[in-house]
């Protein structure tokens, strides 16, 4: 497996691959890989001739008081893990390579970015779209792989692909979890022992709310039960706990087909997110 650090190297690989009429699967990540990322890569490898994983902690999606500087990084470890699941190339550019000049054109996410994570992280999704659009143009993948863990991100990227006609198939992979239900995340390393013990309460609360919704369709009651479970079982602060239609992220009505139940909770300084997506008929919905 090769690690590419410049756009020129990446473009050459893409050109050679296209010349050989081979398909490309792209897995965008910020690195510090875990099983969630590796599952995305396995899908990319299975469904394409060449799998390219980007590893780039993108500064434009972090707010001024967020964890850009301290975000965990370990390219040597990531390289081994990516190779173990058959990734063909890692693209790991420096910030200056991706953003050599300031103040250029920005893409602005629309209404879907005004709530949930977008409300507490202003500008976050504009930064995500900026880097994803650049990666799409650089890699020109046939398919791009994203995790349902970041359900709002998936919904917003789907809208960009539709509105800006990217000729790319988006593939969404279910959330990969620890045995106790905690969604795998690079940020889980920030948790101390107590916080780690409390963290599975987020998923438990979402499951409880899902059952309530399925039984009674009572959004308020479902939210109240989930809030209580988190408050009773953690020292955390709830950033949001929401029930919306998916992927359009509107209020739930009788016509809503798919529902996302999403939460962001601060355990200490660590902000954890999780969600479940389902239809009111009970089966897991396709994203």
Positive or negative: CA dihedral 146, 158, 188, 250: negative
Q: Which helix (H) or strand (E) holds 28?
A: strand 24-29
| Options 92, 173, 230, 277; binder of ligand AMP; rule CB under 6 A | 173
Residue 272: strand, helix, or coil: strand
Query: Per the residue annotation, which of 21, 37, 43, 286 is the catalytic one?
Result: 37
Q: Does 260 bind ligand AMP (CB under 6 A)?
A: no
Residue 285 per-residue DSSP state: P
Q: Give 194-245 as a DSSP string.
A: HHHHHTTHHHHHHHHHHHHHHHH--HHHHHHHHHHHHHHH-S-EEEEEEEEE
Cβ distance to ligand AMP smaller for residue 150 or 212: 150
Rounded to a whole number of angstroms, the minimum distance from the CB of residue 254 to ligand AMP is 30
Q: Does 188 bind ligand AMP (CB under 6 A)?
A: no
Decide if 37 is catalytic.
yes
Written as six digits, the tokens of 14 are 């893409």
Positions in 21-80 near ligand AMP (CB under 6 A): 29-30, 36-37, 40
| Options 45, 121, 171, 184; binder of ligand AMP; rule CB under 6 A | 184
State the residue number with the nearest CB to ligand AMP. 147
Q: Which stretch binds ligand AMP (CB under 6 A): 96-104, 145-153, 238-246, 256-264?
A: 145-153
Rounded to a whole number of angstroms, the minimum distance from the CB of residue 211 to ligand AMP is 22
Rounded to a whole number of angstroms, the minimum distance from the CB of residue 129 to ligand AMP is 13
CA angle 76-81-82, nearest 5°?
A: 95
Residue 102 per-residue DSSP state: S
The residues, any chain, with a CB within 8 Å of residue 194's CB and separated by 6 or more, are 235
Cβ distance to ligand AMP smaller for residue 17 or 185: 185
CA dist 146 → 173, 221, 282 (Å):
6, 31, 24
Cβ distance to ligand AMP smaller for residue 53 or 219: 53
Residues that bind ligand AMP (CB under 6 A): 29-30, 36-37, 40, 146-147, 149-150, 173, 175-176, 183-186
């Amino acid at each position: 497996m090769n690690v590419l650090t410049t756009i020129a190297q990446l473009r050459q690989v893409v050109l050679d691959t296209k010349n050989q009429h081979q398909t490309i699967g792209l897995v965008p990540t910020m690195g510090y890989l875990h099983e969630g990322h590796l599952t995305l890569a396995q899908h990319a490898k299975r469904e394409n001739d060449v799998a390219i994983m980007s590893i780039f902690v993108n500064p434009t999606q972090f707010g001024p008081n967020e964890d850009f500087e301290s975000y965990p990084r370990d390219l040597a470890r990531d390289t081994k893990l990516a190779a173990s699941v058959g990734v063909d190339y890692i693209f790991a550019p420096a910030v200056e390579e991706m953003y050599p000049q300031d103040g250029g054109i920005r893409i602005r996410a629309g209404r879907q970015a005004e709530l949930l994570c977008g409300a507490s992280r202003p500008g976050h999704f504009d930064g995500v779209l900026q880097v994803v659009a650049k990666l799409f143009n650089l890699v020109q993948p046939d398919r791009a792989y994203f995790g349902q863990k970041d359900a709002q991100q998936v919904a917003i990227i789907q809208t960009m692909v539709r509105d800006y006609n990217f000729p790319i198939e988006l593939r969404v992979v279910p959330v990969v979890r620890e045995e106790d239900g905690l969604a795998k995340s690079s940020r889980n390393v920030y948790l101390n022992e107590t916080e780690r013990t409390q963290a599975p309460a987020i998923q438990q609360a979402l499951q409880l709310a899902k059952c309530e919704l399925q039984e009674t369709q009572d959004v308020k009651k479902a939210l109240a039960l989930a809030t209580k479970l988190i408050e009773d079982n953690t020292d955390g602060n709830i950033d949001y706990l929401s029930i919306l239609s998916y992927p359009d992220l509107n209020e739930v009505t009788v016509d809503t087909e798919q529902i996302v139940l999403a939460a962001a909770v601060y355990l200490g300084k660590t902000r954890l997110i999780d969600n479940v997506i389902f239809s009111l008929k009970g089966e897991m919905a396709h994203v």
